[in-house]
Structure 1
Amino acid sequence: MFEFHVSRIAREKYEFDQTLFSFNGNVIFADFLAVRTFTQRINGNRDLVSYPEQAVRAGDINAIGLIDEIFHLIFSLYRKQINPKIMQEAYAVLETTFGQRVLSNVLTRFTAEFPPVDVYSGRLSVQEFLASETDGMPHTLIALEEIVMLWVTNKNPGVSPFLELFDDTFLTQETVYRQVMETLQNFFFVQEKFGPDNQDLLTMLRSPAIAEPYSLSGQLEFIRTKWGALIGDYLYRLLNSLDLINEEKKAIWAGPGPTLVPNFDISEMEDDENFSLDSHWMPRTVMVAKNSYVWLYQLSLAYYRDIKHLDQIPDEELDKLAAWGFNGLWLIGVWERSGASKTIKQLCGNPDAVASAYSLRNYGIAVDLGGEAAFENLRNRAWQRGIRLASDMVPNHMGIDSDWVLHHPDWFLSVPYSPFPAYSFNGTNLSPDDHIGIYIEDHYYDRTDAAVVFKRVDFQSGDTRFIYHGNDGTSMPWNDTAQLDYLNTEVREAVIQTILHVARKFPIIRFDAAMTLAKKHYQRLWFPEPGTGGAIPSRAERGLTKEQFDKVFPIEFWREVVDRVAQEVPETLLLAEAFWLMEGYFVRTLGMHRVYNSAFMNMLRNEENVKYRQLIKNTLEFDPEILKRYVNFMNNPDEKTAVDQFGKGDKYFGICILMSTLPGLPMFGHGQFEGFSEKYGMEYKKAYWDEKEDQNLINRHKQLVSPLLHRRNIFSEVTNFLLYDFLTKDNLINEEVFAYSNFNHNRASLVIYNNKFANTQGYIKESATRILLNENGKSAYRTLNLGEGL
């Protein structure tokens, strides 16, 4: 229970819910919802359009209440441990100094200005209340302690934006309140000291505001650091309070952060290697992405006929992809999509939109694309050309009107009430089922807010719940998705069965946003440890300790997936879209066959060559096998196109050749070979730009890149891969130059590329250090010369 005193004037001005107030007139916050409701009453009465700086945040209100409650705890501890009669003695000193009548006037005016519930409601007069007692404590002493708390609060610069709630100016002007507090200061100063710094009580209560005068979170941190041993269970509530503040401070529309070089930590990855064994074809895989709807639209234009189904894709297109060097075809958006997603996007301004490829109704091949029969036709024809099909699997969430949301609402993270009182759900019912109502928050339609939940109503049972949208904590929630609850074992098994279903259709599976389901990030996002919250608004109050979380989520979900797929659908390549410096963990510990390596695109585009060379060196020194497991790309569907980032000249082809000759899995974007510049949204049904294939670019690809892709078996392994320092004539390392060799299948290769618009000359001689097996079969750090490498 968080509590603090609120004046009668503020209560009447903001019409606060009277159930929030305790018998002595303090406002009590039983949970964060009560805090948000209280805060909304204030903000709802202020002109925040003209004066946005007047907005009050729930985290700050909650902090004031918690600090006040902890101060009461300190008083209680002092009475228990030092002097049970301290307030009686203080009262006696005041009565002697000012007389009963004057002191009574202070208590009476305080009680009238900050009325208890019975006084505010008229059930008791002020005098009747002060003449009573609760649990053996006279109300005069309770009022005196509250006066002390009021004074301490008003002395705190950090609460100045909220002063109208508990302003003591009236008491100062109309009573001897100021003199009373001066007398109490002198009284407490000579009493026995208390606390970790051996202070008198009032000095101790003032110390957080003196240490951090303008920061409520800083004051909470001070209390945590200094008084942690005193406050006991309050420590967890304090950490949750800090999390609430962090939720509200979090900026979610920031641009991309700096690129980081991974430093591998064996303690985070576990000692044992858990690399999955590659089948013979996996290292040679070269993948190209195609946004299904957009590709069919482009093929319709190119072949002058309607091509709307997968079985209508011409053989000539498959022949062309194979000739270019691709043996993996990633079809984006083949599953049955959410009807609600399509409606939302059309209501928000794109009448041509289809649903997002990542807001799914179920995992059946979309009827729009020809259904199962059309898919089987394409799969067979692609395989005749040595092309394996790849598909997305979206494990984190489903569409808000998915079969699972309709029939298994308990499989999703939800709360029985709206977590923020300002949310409203009065828009279009997005449900395909007449018995169910699905409503996203109204402010999504005018783009003035981004709610973390949507509303689901069962019209038959009356059950109403607010289900969280999918969210990775880096930007706005995905408003057409529903977040799955991975603490539910039934959900984990249902998702694994779905993955097995996908694996029986597609030999390559790309797991969307896979890092969000790693244990440490799933907890951070949805059940944060006290003191670590702030990623997703309203989830701080759902926090769990690590021990509590481990009990309900004992082993990594992805480890379960890898083992089950290997057992039940072998010959499936599992590819994880994972960021947040988890790449090595996903392949080495969790056992994914491949993992996204976004550093390749970002660092080489930005010519952060020192960083990328260091990334390779770190990997070679820790475990070279990780390098083989990277998926390298120059764009992906969430990023700008390769043309936009790298152009069409030598810079582009230099990076493209690196991608084609480094260990790992090269992944090309939709339209990259053809030189298309448009970035296709996941809701696009067609291309909007009138672009023609750049035949010169295609020809240069065919001349420089395709021969390398067809020889991926020379480059894809890491057993004999070596990186070299390029030395200038002054024997200085030129970090802009990438030089590396490989030797596989009795074929040697040497690649040298200067990723800088500048001339250089020099030589290579010795390799960078890497782990190699020595003559005893044990790992050892070694460097080799160029001759040995070739």
Structure 2
Amino acid sequence: PAYEKMVEELGEYFRESGIGIRESGESLLDMLRAPAQASPYSLEGQLEFIIKKWGGILGEEFVQKLLRGMDFVREDAIRHRGPVEFKPTAEVPTYFGYPEYERYSLDKEWMPRLVLIAKNAYVWLDQLSKKYQRDISTLDQVPDEELDTLAKRGFTGLWLIGLWERSRASQKMKQRMGQQDAVASAYSLRSYDIADDLGGWGALENLRWRAWQRGIRLSADMVPNHMGIDSNWVIEHPDWFLSVDQPPYPSYTFNSEDLSEDSRAGIILEDHYYDHSDASVVFKRFDRNTGDVRYIYHGNDGTSFPWNDTAQLNYLKAEVREAVIQTILHVARNFPIIRFDAAMTLAKKHIQRLWFPEPGAGGAIPSRAERGISRSEFEAAMPEEFWREVVDRVAAEVPDTLLLAEAFWLMEGYFVRTLGMHRVYNSAFMHMLRDEDNAKYRMAIKNTLEFDARILQRYVNFMNNPDEKTAVEQFGNGDKYFGVCVLLSTLPGLPMFGHGQVEGFHEKYGMEYRRAKWDETADEGFVRYHERIISPLLHRRRVFAGVDNFMLYDLFTPEGGVDENVFAYSNRFENERGLVIYHNRFADTRGWIRMSAAYLENGQLTQKSLADGLGLPSDGYVIFRDGITYLEYIRSCRKVREQGMYVELGAYKCHTFLDFRFVDGSEWRMVNEALNGTGVVSVQGKWDEMFGVKEEVKSEVAEEESVKRKTKKAATKKAAAKKTVVKKPTTKKVAVKKSAEKKSATKKKAVKKIGK
């Protein structure tokens, strides 16, 4: 009360005396109190208020100091807030004023049709041991039957997580924290050599050869942001890592055990790591021979505590960038598919934001604000985007390699369109469809179609990834799961399936797991339905992978509105067509699908009707099969063109219409009228039932095959006829032949004579 009274009396004094009164009517005391009144509970907010209100008169130098002050406040909060679970949000991409240039990488023929499945290497081998009742602990012991199963299910890429030689220090850390059965993290690496306990390079070569016999390419991780804290690089090239000569905070102590097994250098973690009372952003490395001591930063993406079993590489050094590129080329020579972990952290703007922030842009990683540099200094040290250089070097030296980036932070389009990555993670697929933000996801697709549809083809769509809960945990194991899985299998882009997704497993496997902790067996009914509904679609990825003929449609309800919960789209490849319709909501709906969403073509936004999207003729009838119910339908091409297609959908119901073929004539008109939109096992069977005479209805593909067979048969007959014709040699040829025989006989006599 006394303080409040004093402040009140001071205010009255300044106002009455006129001291410090400005044109605005504020006194000196009012000005001094204004920041606290504007943001009473935030020091950062008060500094921001000062900059906005008086920055123009304080001068640039003073404002820079205030901005750094804001950075320090944010850093201090991060140090002591404790570990947090980072939940990335999925945003709708917008492309208004898109500043980046266009420089896509060319796809090889196999890339658009790739279907990837992830396997945590150690966990998978342990599961296979139980499944086949024998020891399977190395890559060369993976049974042929298992590879056959993967191929049968439609997978053409196998992403093996955790193949590389891992940090021994990482394993010690996890065991000290209570995980006695843990191996090191798959992303804390000692070197890019296949782990000895997985069989080494020889075992990999064996698996690679057998997988390729079945059309399966192998994929591996590359972790470019950091290395393990006891990696060969930390021991041999400590100057390649971000470090300081003194601990960044005076409270840091390093009294725990030495985690290094190398005689050249020791590794000690900061003590607060073990009780999580501080971010512990650095570890201590000391040279056993020279006594050199430095404090190296842990790898970090600024979203939570650092990855304390890793060491952060310094990308401002050209020699570091070259060393990483050489490692990437080494991986590319052994794996045709490379997944780059946390690739967005190495985009130039994020390297500076995280590690060398400009004033006011810091706060992501404690203690880095005071080591920030200007934009011009940063550009001088790193003039080009690292990823653009990687893409160009791989294209030149190991061209048949697909580069896949795990990138978030709204950088997906930039990574494929400008930096040239072949594929990039599309986390919006999982988040929005799981949460049924259907309007947002449809808008995301529409925005992309209106800007550049090719970005859709470059997405990696997934229902879970190693950092998220499993697919069945997020989507269940019923109609919603299979409906979203149909979208995963039929939208443009690369479908990526998680470890255990097809089996219906619920456990999320940590990167340090040696084996699964839950005793789960495959849900056989779930697996069978997967093989019945999803696998046939994966085998037809050629129909759905591209974007040249991809069309997204609105479903208009009888009330005239658009049902944003319905995903309807068509695609084509050569003479094959596909139409997918899925309702991602627990409700019933019905309506007409007729006109596509706008898409960019030759610089103009345009639309197509459903009939044009499917390439239907003007007249006649179209027959198609539903891959979900296995029923066939017949529709009038003219009515589809004029009215569109009417559908009714229950909760999470789906249709996958395939095997389109065309018929015409009065009898087919009568079949269409008799069925009146109803599905039957066989439309041809209905024709037979009505008219009693079988008329073969051939699909366009079947007709092509028939022509090929006839052509081949005719060619075979012609070749056989040629073989039976014996031409009589000409007189000249006979004379030459007799002359040759005479010379041969003379030569033989000479040989005999010499022999005697």
For the aligned pair, the TM-score class normalised by the smaller chain equals 0.7 to 0.9
Correspondence for 1:425 among 254, 271, 275: 254
Q: 1:200 to 1:495 in 2, by over 3 A?
A: same
Q: How does 1:19-30 map to 2 (within 5 A)?
A: none
Matched, 1:741 2:570: yes
Q: Which residue of 2 aligns with 1:353?
A: 182
Q: Which residue of 1 aligns with 2:67?
A: 239
Higher mean C-alpha deviation, range 218-227 or range 361-370: 218-227
8 Å CA contact 1:264, 1:584 repeated in 2:
no
Matched, 1:779 2:629: no
Correspondence for 2:94 among 259, 263, 267: 263
Q: 1:665 to 1:209 in 2, by over 3 A?
A: closer
Q: 1:651 to 1:464 in 2, by over 3 A?
A: same
Q: 1:581 to 1:484 in 2, by over 3 A?
A: same
Spell out, residue by residue over 1:654-695, the C-alpha distance to the aligned partner (whole angstroms, 9 max, x if none).
111111010000000111111111111100011111111111
Q: 1:210 to 1:304 in 2, by over 3 A?
A: closer
Aligned mates of 1:447, 1:635 — CA distance in 2: 28
Q: 1:231 to 1:300 in 2, by over 3 A?
A: same
8 Å CA contact 1:414, 1:465 repeated in 2:
yes
Equivalent residue of 2:515, what SS? coil
Structure 2: gaps (5+ residues): 615-756
Q: Which residue of 2 aligns with 1:560?
A: 389
1:254 CA displacement: 5.1
Correspondence for 1:224 among 27, 51, 55: 51
Q: Which residue of 1 aligns with 2:294?
A: 465
Structure 1: gaps (5+ residues): 1-154, 158-171, 173-178, 773-777
Correspondence for 2:225 among 391, 396, 405: 396
Q: Which residue of 2 aligns with 1:40?
A: none
Aligned mates of 2:368, 2:546 — CA distance in 1: 44
Aligned mates of 2:444, 2:33 — CA distance in 1: 50
8 Å CA contact 2:118, 2:497 repeated in 1:
yes
Aligned mates of 1:349, 1:781 — CA distance in 2: 59
Aligned mates of 1:214, 1:302 — CA distance in 2: 59
Spell out, residue by residue over 1:106-157, the C-alpha distance to the aligned partner (whole angstroms, 9 max, x if none).
xxxxxxxxxxxxxxxxxxxxxxxxxxxxxxxxxxxxxxxxxxxxxxxxx999
Q: Which residue of 1 aligns with 2:464?
A: 635
Q: Which residue of 2 aligns with 1:370?
A: 199
Q: How does 1:82-481 map to 2 (within 5 A)?
A: 208-209=35-36, 215-225=42-52, 226-250=54-78, 253=84, 256=87, 258-268=89-99, 270=100, 272-481=101-310
1:543 CA displacement: 1.6
Letter in 1 for 2:606: R
Spell out, residue by residue over 1:735-784, the C-alpha distance to the aligned partner (whole angstroms, 9 max, x if none).
11110001112111100011112111111000000112xxxxx3211010
Aligned mates of 2:274, 2:28 — CA distance in 1: 53
8 Å CA contact 1:767, 1:786 repeated in 2:
yes
Q: 1:213 to 1:336 in 2, by over 3 A?
A: closer
Q: Which residue of 2 aligns with 1:497?
A: 326
Letter in 2 for 1:457: F
Aligned mates of 1:730, 1:203 — CA distance in 2: 60
Q: 1:712 to 1:416 in 2, by over 3 A?
A: same
Aligned mates of 1:761, 1:198 — CA distance in 2: 65
Aligned mates of 1:190, 1:755 — CA distance in 2: 68
Q: 1:607 to 1:200 in 2, by over 3 A?
A: closer
Q: 1:785 to 1:219 in 2, by over 3 A?
A: same
8 Å CA contact 2:15, 2:27 repeated in 1:
no
Aligned mates of 1:639, 1:703 — CA distance in 2: 27
1:213 CA displacement: 5.5
1:200 CA displacement: 8.4
Aligned mates of 2:480, 2:15 — CA distance in 1: 76
Q: 1:213 to 1:651 in 2, by over 3 A?
A: closer
1:719 CA displacement: 0.3
Equivalent residue of 1:635, what SS? coil
1:212 CA displacement: 5.1
1:221 CA displacement: 2.6
Q: 1:273 to 1:227 in 2, by over 3 A?
A: closer
Letter in 2 for 1:662: L
8 Å CA contact 2:483, 2:584 repeated in 1:
yes
Letter in 2 for 1:264: Y
Q: 1:710 to 1:156 in 2, by over 3 A?
A: farther
Letter in 2 for 1:221: E
Equivalent residue of 1:750, what SS? strand
Aligned mates of 1:372, 1:577 — CA distance in 2: 26
Aligned mates of 1:569, 1:643 — CA distance in 2: 38
Aligned mates of 1:317, 1:406 — CA distance in 2: 40
1:411 CA displacement: 0.8
Aligned mates of 1:590, 1:156 — CA distance in 2: 60
Cα RMSD, aligned residues only: 2.6
Q: 1:434 to 1:768 in 2, by over 3 A?
A: same
Letter in 2 for 1:233: E
Aligned mates of 2:271, 2:96 — CA distance in 1: 45
TM-score (norm 1): 0.74
Q: Which residue of 2 aligns with 1:672?
A: 501
Aligned mates of 2:169, 2:27 — CA distance in 1: 62
8 Å CA contact 1:188, 1:200 repeated in 2:
no
1:651 CA displacement: 0.9
8 Å CA contact 1:656, 1:705 repeated in 2:
yes
Correspondence for 1:646 among 455, 466, 475: 475
8 Å CA contact 1:726, 1:762 repeated in 2:
yes
Letter in 2 for 1:260: E
1:534 CA displacement: 1.2
1:264 CA displacement: 1.9
Aligned mates of 1:372, 1:366 — CA distance in 2: 8
Q: Which residue of 1 aligns with 2:543?
A: 714
Aligned pair count? 609
Letter in 1 for 2:613: G
Equivalent residue of 1:548, what SS? helix
1:208 CA displacement: 4.7
1:205 CA displacement: 5.6
8 Å CA contact 1:156, 1:209 repeated in 2:
no
Letter in 2 for 1:437: G
Spell out, residue by residue over 1:595-624, the C-alpha distance to the aligned partner (whole angstroms, 9 max, x if none).
001111111111111111111101101100
Spell out, residue by residue over 1:425-452, the C-alpha distance to the aligned partner (whole angstroms, 9 max, x if none).
1111111212311011223223443311
Percent identity (aligned): 63
Q: 1:199 to 1:501 in 2, by over 3 A?
A: same
Q: 1:156 to 1:288 in 2, by over 3 A?
A: farther
Matched, 1:687 2:516: yes
Aligned mates of 2:283, 2:3 — CA distance in 1: 39
Spell out, residue by residue over 1:188-210, the C-alpha distance to the aligned partner (whole angstroms, 9 max, x if none).
9769x99x989887776666556
1:299 CA displacement: 0.9
1:258 CA displacement: 4.2
Aligned mates of 1:283, 1:595 — CA distance in 2: 13
Aligned mates of 1:422, 1:636 — CA distance in 2: 38
1:234 CA displacement: 2.3
Aligned mates of 1:353, 1:190 — CA distance in 2: 70
8 Å CA contact 1:379, 1:389 repeated in 2:
yes
Correspondence for 2:336 among 507, 525, 528: 507
Higher mean C-alpha deviation, range 305-314 or range 622-631: 305-314
Q: 1:544 to 1:694 in 2, by over 3 A?
A: same
Aligned mates of 2:458, 2:569 — CA distance in 1: 17
Equivalent residue of 1:612, what SS? helix
Correspondence for 1:754 among 583, 586, 598: 583
Q: Which residue of 2 aligns with 1:618?
A: 447
